[in-house]
Structure 1
Amino acid sequence: MSTHSQQAVDWFLRLRSEGCTEADRAAFQSWLSADPDHRKEFTEVRSMWGGMDKVLARPFPELEACLALPPRPASSLAGGLTSLGRWLTWSPANQFIPALLALVLVAGGWWLWEALSVQTAIYETAVGEQKTVTLADGSRLDLNTGTRVTTAFSSRRRSIELLQGEAAFTVVHQSDRSFTVSAGGRHILDIGTQFVVHQHQNRIDVTVTQGSVLISRDEKAGSSSSGESVVLEAGHRLRYVVGGQDDGGVIALDPTESHRSTAWRDGKLIFSGVRLAEAVQEVNRYWPGQIVIDAPNLADVKVQGVFNVRQLDQFFTTLPRILPVEVSRRSPQYILITARHSGSSN
């Protein structure tokens, strides 16, 4: 340990002692002002102890009062060191210095190890691509088209952020290590679960297919009684606006709708009487180009069928057979849907 580091620890212990006087605080200010390295070393010691205060539930008002004093001239440094040396010579607390130093160093090392041990990763898919990832804890992550997530796993928590797109989570529950997904300003805490989170523009859909999740604005919320938290059970969906309020609240899904919302995991798109505009919007998520409906009166026409996301040409060839439309390819990726002309046949 360097001389400055040793002095910083000594001052720290002195300021925490019951015998610390105004003269000691003034001398400390002189020492602090004498060299920029003094403040740097002292800040590091204080930072390490700050986390320990949370564990020991012991505040440090003496230090705050001391740091609030105006800087003293560097010429007073000798007096500061004399005061410090005098305290170290006679103080009965000296017998605890080795133990306290060890505690500070061990605690600092633990927090440093904790920070360095966080494993981070980024997973993403291109338009039309789907991917399954087995995470380090054994949990399964299914990424739908155009999705991007980040993960940060440590010994105490597993955190995932959905930046865009849609992902399904099959979580290996660990009672001593939480699993949280953040999306659109809210946090989804696993309670032994399979669930899907879909972010589309400014809307988030959370659908639980097994178990339950706790959804909260506060990442540290631990129960449904905290703030605006809500427990979402299997077979239910919560829709909310990014950074805003719920959009429709909790919705109970019938088995057909629940299956439809997760069919993409099997490479399927299921349309059961949905508007053509909605069907095209969904297919556009997987299509590398653009699909356009060129007749407003077609938007509300109902579509029914099951389509393979890896064979979207099937969707384009099927539409004219089941609806009064024509589908034309203006370029390899640009698809135009228009009303069928009178007299045209399938």
Structure 2
Amino acid sequence: MNDRTRPTAPGMPARDGARMPDTPDTAGEELLEELSPAEFEALRWSVRIGDGLDAAERAEFEAWRRADPTHQAAYDEMTGVSEAIDAMPAAGAARLQARVAIDRAGESATHAAVPVAPATSPAPPRPTRRRALAAAAAVFAAAGGGWFGWEASRSEPVFEQRYQTQRGQQLDVALPDGSQMRLDTATTAEVSLYRGRREVRLAEGQAMFAVQSDKARPFDVRAGGTRVTVVGTRFSVRYTPSIGRPEVQVAVQEGRVRVAAASDAAAPAAIELAPGETVAADAQGRPGPVARIAPEGVAAWRGNRLSFDNLPLSAVLAELGRYGDVGIAVHDPAVAALPVTASVDLQRMGDFVRSLPQVLPVRLERRQGTTEIVAAKR
């Protein structure tokens, strides 16, 4: 023990005999040194998941999690610690985050991943260490003058992250509250988690949500003029104004979902969707008639397949263009308006294009280096 008084964060005293390190500059680092290899790797995964994982990275995480019972226990123990680090002032957070930084190629900036030998039984959780590490993060924040205001204010988010996928890419995201989000191609979403609520702003694209139930913190998805509110459920939201479809489409797989205009004034017009129901809301957020949808039809894009029912050819091609270069053009308005009913494999879009002359009165012509769909000769 040093003679001087050790700093503690407001509301975050050391408990259960947890030793607070000597100074804010070394608090978090000393506690990180005490983590077991499994705990340190779990903390690295917690940070990495917060940034978003693609399909390959998600498979890598699942393989690590299932490799040993201690891995899941360690990950559960570290959940929330990375949030505490993120909430710190920049100077303090940088020091700790440098110790758990993840290189996208899979290498740690400071620590290499250390394999853990299988144990005969799962290791018991160590809440004292988790509290101590979170407390160390609070010490850094207090030293920077930011902890008290963060603790006292419910209007500031405790987690914020922007996620974006490129054309042809999908992304699985595990949110710190336990919810799951899968983004489709060409999608942008901003996540803000507060102490009393959770919010996702879908700027463009579509996403599937599996929301962790928390009655004290409703989960809102805002897209265009529409607000979708849930507590715990599985549902999809689509908003693609960039291809001329300003409506917001909501479909429910499990649970119940409330759909309303984003403005409070229009809230009385809200509707509630049950499993197997879908609705489209207009640009002002006003829901239209409720329709039925098969469970497998909710976010069918997750299986790399899209279905179209009596949709104009131009709209079908615009939708396929979100996933890749179709390499085709339509200039004739009459051809563009032809109705299409089809199921398209997104990994074989060329097959769909080549089949068009068999189902529509059209033919394919090469014109100036581009394939154009034109009306069939009579």
Does the TM-score normalized on the shorter chain lie above 0.5? yes
Structure 1 residues 304 and 120, CA gap change in structure 2 (3 angstroms):
same
Aligned to 1:235: 276
Q: What SS is found at the alignment partner of 1:312?
A: helix
Shift of 1:179: 1.2
Aligned to 1:29: none
Instruction: Output the CA distance in 1 between the equivalents of 2:371 and 2:169.
Output: 19
Instruction: Output the CA distance in 2 between the equivalents of 1:151 and 1:298.
Output: 41
Pairing of 1:1-346 with structure 2 (within 5 A): 108=149, 110-112=151-153, 118-201=158-241, 202-217=246-261, 227-242=268-283, 244=284, 246=286, 249-255=288-294, 259-260=296-297, 262-288=299-325, 291-328=328-365, 334-342=370-378
Instruction: List per-residue Cα deviations over 1:289-331 (Å, max 9, x = no partner).
Output: 6643233333454434322223322222222333332234657
Q: What SS is found at the alignment partner of 2:198?
A: strand
- Largest Rg, 1 or 2: 1
Bigger relative CO (Cα 8 Å, ≥ 6 apart): 2
Instruction: Output the CA distance in 2 between the equivalents of 1:174 and 1:116.
Output: 19
Instruction: List per-residue Cα deviations over 1:235-287 (Å, max 9, x = no partner).
Output: 22222222x2526x2322243xx644521111101234444333223223223
Shift of 1:118: 1.3
Q: What SS is found at the alignment partner of 2:228?
A: strand
Instruction: List per-residue Cα deviations over 1:178-224 (Å, max 9, x = no partner).
Output: 21111113321114321111112222112222211122346889xxx
Structure 1 residues 148 and 320, CA gap change in structure 2 (3 angstroms):
same
Contact 1:260 1:269 in 2 (8 A): no
Shift of 1:163: 0.6
Shift of 1:119: 1.0
Structure 1 residues 285 and 141, CA gap change in structure 2 (3 angstroms):
same
Contact 1:130 1:143 in 2 (8 A): yes
Structure 1 residues 291 and 212, CA gap change in structure 2 (3 angstroms):
farther
Structure 1 residues 178 and 330, CA gap change in structure 2 (3 angstroms):
farther
Structure 1 residues 229 and 304, CA gap change in structure 2 (3 angstroms):
closer
* TM-score, normalised by the number of residues in structure 1: 0.57
Instruction: Output the CA distance in 1 between the equivalents of 2:206 and 2:282.
Output: 15
Structure 1 residues 173 and 296, CA gap change in structure 2 (3 angstroms):
same
* TM-score, normalised by the number of residues in structure 2: 0.53
Structure 1 residues 196 and 325, CA gap change in structure 2 (3 angstroms):
same
Shift of 1:122: 0.8
CA RMSD of aligned residues (A): 3.2
Aligned residues: 229
Instruction: Output the CA distance in 2 between the equivalents of 1:131 and 1:106.
Output: 33
Structure 1 residues 317 and 262, CA gap change in structure 2 (3 angstroms):
same
Instruction: List per-residue Cα deviations over 1:10-37 (Å, max 9, x = no partner).
Output: xxxxxxxxxxxxxxxxxxxxxxxxxxxx
Structure 1 residues 192 and 109, CA gap change in structure 2 (3 angstroms):
closer
Structure 2 residue identity aligned to 1:317: R
Instruction: Decide which structure has greater strand share.
Output: 1
Deviates more, 1:304-313 or 1:170-179: 304-313
Shift of 1:107: 7.5
